[in-house]
């Protein structure tokens, strides 16, 4: 049960509501986000919610039977919009493009990618400065210095930055220079990290776990939201199956299912979704058609020389073609 | 190794070639299809194929390292076209629509569906008369009498019939009344059935197994092709994964991968691919965008009353919308 | 609902019962097996079964809510025993050993294996004469002639034969020379084959599908049982997962779960279950400890030279060790 | 490549070795553990290792082609022993028992479990004070205060403590009161946590990820080992598959495969491995037979009232029976 509170509610009124909800057999959790105050009631009892709806300080009451509550579309019908400033907004009805290299490698590389994105009207650049790698002996990213450099250049283009956060202790620094923090597939159920991201006022993109269920992904979003941060989006990036003809199995079905279940934007990652450079484009365009609100993909001046993920990274010519086709495809979908 | 023979080759010439191939350390298999004669050489030796290419009766020689040979695009670059007559052709560059109920139920139902397809320009109707069912106590289809009735009506509309074959003994009868024989997911590795389908001159649609790999699907096609029947197409219909939010996981990646690996047409089944009526459309349109050559989906006058698969079956209004959007999407893809 | 009928029931009495069950809103199926007559009622209504229990000709009435009925342990508590003659019985409380090569290859090989089994007290020999192979160009078995030869020699040792059946048309011949017919993983949902096996009086071993669920396996058994054949056993042989460090993932959990759900014997196949010769033994012994009623594994005089599956086949020394350890492990389990 | 250094090596000698390895085209990483110093060389070149073996300060040189190096059995043949003090040692040849509740709940519960373990000779108690939960609204554990209380009582029995660590910031406190730190399935690829655990001198048990491959598990162990901590063990706890008849699919095959690939102890978790209380025992005994070096399972005075995982938790009577049967089974295995 979600009890949405009035903005100016007094602590006395809030206490009364909490006591009432407890007395009805529900465990309560207080949630204060950038946008609103809520009391979440967890319990299985069937009650007449009108007895709560009439109380002073209550703005609205909703019953949500899913394990996740605040991220459910059963409660909030209006799609979440995430405003990054400078006119860059991620929302249903637009199509957000995010592109860039797997890893930030050098100043030269940063500028090359920014130039490419700028020339093609892409307003968000991706890139890793902390890299989760299967082997401890692999390149692990340039760290915060790489991000500072990147930030400096990105600002001159008015291009926003999305980068991966791997542990709570990185959040404070990353928040200074990045516009969106990404939680990677391997950390998708790192609950302490999710808790910590709930406490900041910075948009978060949550990738689905390597074999995460959609229900788990939504509950991970609930962690961040109930921690206080409503600025959330979800990302389908392929799941692990028995098939070995490609890297991951892009779960196209996840897109319409997530769009039904949550008000959060749904982003597709076709690069990890198939893991084969030649087929990033068809997967990407399919995701547009299936209802995604945006896309994040890998591009690099010379993919063959990329420090990581070169085999699934587009060169700039391929990237430009993808951008154009994506726009045409999105226009067609909107026309339906 | 594939040795394509000249049409008018003498048996003496063929024997010489076979002996030569054997002497080089390869095991040979003779293949005679509707279109051509081949000798397949299986072995791992590296040889200079020119010593075969120059022999009398040899039209061409190809090395194919995959486990499948004749269905490989490495050998035959030109996409296979399947002509059903009356101007109905399944081929790359067109988009074949096949639609109809899960099960053929009654004359009334047959006519309703035919009317709907005819009004919307769909030239191939699907429907099961032999139904593979998990439980032995479920409805198992009307059998050959249902097919005869269906055939009679379909002819008056010039609409072609695709229906499932479950065992070799049904083939002869089915061939009289159906235009395409479908091998279902549960029979995808029923090798005796595949052998038997190699011996007839009737197009076959092979569905991927419930957890079949793409390599296995191609080898199953090789069974039919090497048995003598080149009129083959492949169908992605969703695979089994851990996710329970929908029925099957539509493997979108399979479409571009199969298009690369084989010259056979690739058909998408969005109905089984997600198993949820409301989301058949986005999956279908995504498949178009990903490069499918056609689509097979379930539609019924009143899905709620269908004998089987009602939960994933479109009504005629939804079907009509899908047909229109599919055409617009295919046009856009062709324009790229 | 299962209505067990008295042996001497008249057709008039049976009609009355059938009419009564229909009138209560259930669809009926008649089942006549080697052992008994039943009427199966399919429907969701809650009824008082006493109104059926009192009717003339009714021996017993059971409600079974599972999708499968006759194979359920909720109905028949007593474990099924399968008597192959000559004192060879497969049943809970004993441990049935079945061993032999993947493929029957030659008379010499047959005799070598029989000698080995005989020397070690193994009374059932496995071997394929019809082989399901991924590629159409692979060795497909010696066919019925191989079986005749095998049968001749096996008889002299009093050793029973289990071999795979791939299609209905093979059943009649196989029944003459084999003691158990095995349905392979790829045919586990070949419903026509299962129907046909229901009509013969010959024990059947059903392998779980490559990614078959336990519920599907039980429903496949229901096909054979409801077709008339109660002499059934189930086999866990590993499932398909994402892991690539071995061939299949042996689903140990399946053993206790199946033992709970069905009265049929449960057999483990450790050879396919891991697919690595060096680890067949630990998997086999684990299966004994988990509650299996028997085991089927691959052994060959010289596994390196086997026509198929050599990489998971034990030589006779390894086989002998396994047999001894299996017996000691089974004795320990029985002592608990 | 692993270059094991002599204990008293001078920094000058070490520099020379590092330079030499670099000059041969390898990237080097220094590793200093509780037991030894190593230089790891990463590269693909084939070199004659004798040119390194002869250098001053070099104790041994090994080539390891796997992605993991220091945890490989190809390098270190002798199994790792983990000595917890007071005669409690985890090692091949013994069988380590660890048991206790999912969550530490209260002083009363702690004492009940300790009494039970003590009476049955179990020397290591499991229990969670930081609990990873799918929903943010679930009980998340008593935290460090719960651990202090537990530690106080455990000491009086001489029983060792294993508990889960969820983030780096908890390590310092946990090290004071726990004897083994456990990394849960959801954090199995939390590389920052693994890095941090490499820096402490405290045994670590690494659980396999929810759909982690065995290769990934070994690389995660490599993170901790190369960070400086050799006191490591691995735990198979069931993987995610399509099967829904139980909670997780216990991957029995993982046990012999891991024993082959690594010198680290391999522990089985039958409670999570099947997730069904009635079948924890058969899975556990199977794991013993398959070659596990130890077992961790859930037990509670009254499983029905446990705060979490009650459905897979044994009561004390069941636990006692399991302990006895485990010992008998292990004795049998050792006798082979």
DSSP codes of every residue in C202-260: S-EEEEPPTT--HHHHHHHHHHHHHHT---EEEEE--B--S--SSSSB-BTTHHHHHHH
Cite the beta strand spans of C133-203 per DSSP E: 160-164, 180-183
Question: pLDDT tens across B289-314, in order?
Answer: 999 999 999 999 999 999 999 999 99
Q: Give the model confidence (pLDDT) of A244-297 as tens digits.
A: 999 999 999 999 999 999 999 999 999 999 999 999 999 999 999 999 999 999
* Distance between CA atoms of residues B315 and B304, nearest Å: 9
Residue C114 pLDDT greater than 90, yes or no: yes
What is the structure's pLDDT at A49?
A: 87
Cβ pair D3, D17 in contact under 8 A: yes
In terms of Cβ atoms closer than 10 Å to its own Cβ (0-12, 13-18, 19+), residue C176 is exposed
Taking the C-alpha atoms of residue C68 and residue C215, their distance in angstroms, rounded to an integer, is 8
- Give the integer Cα–Cα distance in Å for C127 and C297: 10
Whole-prediction pTM: 0.96
Tokens of B316: 């005629």
Q: Which two tokens stand for residue A134?
A: 């299967």
Backbone angles phi, psi at C209, to 5 degrees: -65, 165
Give the relative orientation of helices D254-261 and D280-290 as an angle to the nearest 10 degrees. 30
> For chain D, which domains are there?
2-62 (3.30.70), 82-335 (3.20.20.70)
Q: At what angle do helices D316-335 and D280-290 cross, to 10 degrees?
A: 20
Query: CB C138: neighbour CB atoms within 10 A?
Result: 16
> Average pLDDT of A180-201?
97
Minimum mean pLDDT range among A135-139, A208-212, C183-187: A135-139
CA distance to D208, D294, D311, D313, per residue, from D300 (Å): 24, 19, 11, 7
* pLDDT over threshold 90, residue B220: yes
Selection from A19, A43, A18 nearest residue A31 by Cα: A18
The residue length of chain D stands at 336
Provide the edge-to-edge strand list for the sheet that holds C27-32: C27-32, C37-42, C2-5, C58-62
Per residue in C222-258, pLDDT tens? 999 999 999 999 999 999 999 999 999 999 999 999 9
Residue in B62, B60, B51 with CA at minimum distance from that of residue B7: B60
Q: Are B16 and B55 in contact (CB under 8 A)?
A: yes
In contact, A113 and A301? CB cutoff 8 Å: yes
Subunits touching A (CB < 8 Å, at least 3 pairs)? B, C, D
CA distance B100 to chain A (A): 22
CB-closest option in D215, D274, D285 to C253? D274
A6 has a pLDDT exceeding 90? yes
Quick one: pLDDT at residue A46? 84
pLDDT band for D50, please (50, 70, 90 cuts): confident
Per-residue HEC secondary structure of A190-206 comes to CHHHHHHHHCCCCCEEE
Taking only the tens place, the pLDDT of each residue in C24-65 is: 999 999 999 999 999 999 998 888 888 899 999 999 999 998
Contact D218, D71 (CB under 8 A): yes
Q: How far is CA C110 from the centre of its chain?
A: 23
Q: At B86, list the tokens.
A: 């009356």
Provide the token pair at A107.
Answer: 């100043």
The pLDDT of residue B97:
98
Per-residue confidence (pLDDT) for residue B221, from 0 to 100: 98
Nearest CA in chain C to A243: C242
- Residue A140, both tokens: 């692990």
D29/A191 Cβ within 8 A: no
Angstrom distance (rounded) from CA C95 to CA C117: 15
Task: Please give the Cα distance from A182 to A165 (Å, whole number).
Answer: 6
* 8-state DSSP, A79: P
**Cβ contact A323:B323 at 8 Å:** no
Are A117 and A105 contacting, i.e. CB atoms less than 8 angstroms apart? no
- A249: which 2 tokens? 């199995």
Residue C36 touches partner D, C-beta closer than 8 Å: no
pLDDT band at D147 (very low <50, low <70, confident <90, very high): very high
Chains with ≥3 CB–CB distances under 8 Å to D? A, B, C
The SS3 of residue D100 is strand
CA separation for the pair C330, D75 (Å, rounded):
37
Q: Sign of the C-alpha dihedral, residues D34, D35, D39, D42?
A: negative
Scan for tokens 């691995």, then name that residue: D234
pLDDT digits (tens, 9 = 90+) for D9-26: 999 999 999 999 999 999
Sequence-distant (≥ 6) Cβ neighbours of residue B252 within 8 angstroms: A250, A252, A283, A286, B286, B287, B290
Which residues are within 8 A (CB) of D70 and not within 5 positions of it... i.e. 6 or more apart?
D2, D31, D38, D40, D76, D222, D225, D226, D230
Distance from D118 to chain A by nearest Cα, in Å?
34
C189 reaches B (C-beta below 8 A): yes
The dihedral over CA atoms of C99, C101, C107, C110, expressed in degrees to the nearest 10, equals: -10
Distance CA C239, CA C272 (A): 9
* Confidence band of B49 (pLDDT split at 50, 70, 90): confident
Give dist(CA C116, CA C104) in Å, integer.
15
Judge contact between D119 and D159, C-beta under 8 A: no
Does residue B189 register a pLDDT over 90? yes
CA D276 to chain C, closest CA, distance in angstroms equals 10
Task: Quick: pLDDT tens for D272-295.
Answer: 999 999 999 999 999 999 999 999
Calpha distance D301→D315 (Å, rounded): 6
Tell me the pLDDT band of D49, cut-offs 50, 70 and 90.
confident
Q: Hey, is D238 helix, strand or coil?
A: coil
Task: Give the pair of three-digit tokens for residue B307.
Answer: 């004998």
The alpha carbon of residue C240 is apart from the nearest alpha carbon of chain A, in Å, by 7
Q: Is C64:C2 a contact under the CB 8 Å cutoff?
A: yes
Distance CA C60, CA C4 (A): 5
Best C242, C249, C251 member to test A by mutation, with max A CBs in 10 Å, is: C242
**Cα–Cα dist C49/A57, whole Å:** 57
A171-204 per-residue burial string, b: 16 or more CB within 10 A, e: under 16: beebeebbbbbbbbbbbbbbbbbbbbbbebebbb
Residue B242 at interface with chain D, using a CB cutoff of 8 Å: yes
The CA dihedral of A276, A281, A285, A288, to the nearest 10 degrees, is: 70
**Sheet of B2-5, strands arranged across:** B27-32, B37-42, B2-5, B58-62
The predicted structure's pLDDT at residue C237 = 98
B238 contacts B274 by C-beta, under 8 angstroms: yes
> What pLDDT, on the 0 to 100 scale, is given for residue C65?
86
Q: What is the mean pLDDT of residues A91-99?
A: 97
List strands edge to edge, sheet with A27-32.
Answer: A27-32, A37-42, A2-5, A58-62
Dihedral of CA D48/D50/D54/D60: which sign? positive
| Segment A11-17 long-range contacts (CB within 8 Å, at least 24 positions apart) | A13/A55, A13/A56, A13/A57, A14/A39, A14/A57, A16/A55, A16/A56, A16/A57, A17/A52, A17/A55, A17/A57, A17/A58
pLDDT value at residue D48: 87
Please name the chains neighbouring C, where neighbouring means 3+ C-beta pairs under 8 angstroms: A, B, D
Instruction: Sort out which chain B residues have CB atoms less than 8 A from D241's CB and list them.
Output: 242
Task: State the pLDDT at residue C127.
Answer: 98
User: How near does any CA of chain C get to the CA of B257, in Å?
Assistant: 19
Q: Could you tell me whether strands C160-164 and B27-32 are parallel, antiparallel, or unpaired per DSSP bridges?
A: unpaired
Tell me whether residues A239 and B241 touch, CB distance under 8 A: yes
pLDDT for B44: 85
Pick from D190, D194, D240: CB nearest A187: D190
Rounded Cα distance, C148 and A192, in Å: 67
Q: Do D282 and C290 touch (CB under 8 A)?
A: yes
Q: What is the pLDDT of residue A48?
A: 87
Helix/strand/coil for B331: helix
User: Residue A44 has what pLDDT?
Assistant: 84
Of all helices (H) and strands (E), which one includes residue A14? Answer: helix A11-23
Q: Which residues of D touch B240 (CB under 8 A)?
A: 242
Which residues in chain C are closer than 8 Å to A245, comparing Cβ atoms? none
């Amino acid at each position: 049960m979600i009890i949405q509170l009035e903005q100016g509610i007094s602590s006395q009124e809030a206490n009364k509501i909490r006591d009432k909800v407890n007395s009805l057999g529900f465990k309560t959790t207080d949630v204060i986000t950038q946008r609103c105050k809520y009391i979440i009631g967890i319990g299985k009892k069937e009650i007449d919610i009108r007895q709560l709806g009439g109380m002073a300080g209550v703005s609205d009451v909703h019953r949500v039977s899913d394990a996740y509550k605040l991220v459910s579309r059963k409660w909030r019908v209006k799609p979440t919009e995430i405003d990054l400033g400078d006119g860059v907004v991620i929302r249903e009805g637009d199509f957000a493009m995010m592109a860039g290299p797997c890893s930030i490698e050098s100043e030269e590389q940063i500028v090359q990618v920014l130039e490419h994105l700028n020339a093609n009207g892409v307003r968000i650049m991706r890139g890793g400065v902390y890299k989760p790698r299967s082997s401890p002996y692999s390149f692990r990213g340039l760290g915060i210095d790489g991000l500072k450099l990147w930030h400096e250049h990105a600002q001159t283009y008015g291009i926003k930055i999305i980068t991966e956060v791997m542990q709570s202790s990185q959040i404070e620094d990353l928040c200074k220079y990045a516009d969106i923090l990404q939680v990677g597939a391997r950390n998708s159920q790192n609950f302490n990290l999710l808790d910590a991201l709930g406490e900041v006022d910075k948009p978060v993109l949550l990738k689905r776990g390597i074999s995460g269920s959609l229900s788990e992904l939504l509950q991970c979003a609930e962690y961040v939201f109930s921690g206080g941060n409503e600025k959330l989006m979800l990302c389908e990036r392929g799941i692990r199956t028995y098939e070995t003809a490609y890297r991951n199995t892009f779960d196209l079905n996840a897109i319409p299912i997530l769009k039904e279940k949550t008000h959060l934007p749904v982003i597709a990652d076709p690069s990890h979704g198939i893991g084969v450079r030649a087929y990033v484009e068809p997967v990407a365009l399919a995701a547009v058609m299936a209802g995604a609100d945006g896309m994040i993909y890998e591009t690099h001046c010379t993919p063959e020389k990329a420090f990581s993920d070169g085999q699934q990274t587009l060169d700039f010519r391929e990237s430009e073609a993808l951008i154009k086709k994506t726009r045409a495809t999105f226009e067609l979908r909107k026309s339906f």
